[in-house]
């Protein structure tokens, strides 16, 4: 796996989820709806 620096913005964070620097994530990108 390769590390790629990115900036993200989350609209909603599910309850009980704590975001911590250095954790891995699976990401899917959805196009904006008009």
Tens-place pLDDT, residues 1-34 = 677 788 888 888 889 988 888 777 787 888 887 7
In this predicted structure, what is the pLDDT of residue 15?
93
In this predicted structure, what is the pLDDT of residue 16?
92
pTM confidence score: 0.32
Sign of CA pseudo-dihedral 1, 15, 8, 22: negative
Torsion of CA 9, 12, 16, 22, to 10 degrees: -10
Structural tokens at position 2:
């390769």
């Amino acid at each position: 796996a390769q590390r790629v620096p990115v900036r993200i913005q989350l609209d909603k964070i599910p309850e009980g989820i704590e975001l911590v620097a250095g954790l891995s994530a699976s990401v899917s990108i959805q196009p904006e709806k008009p």
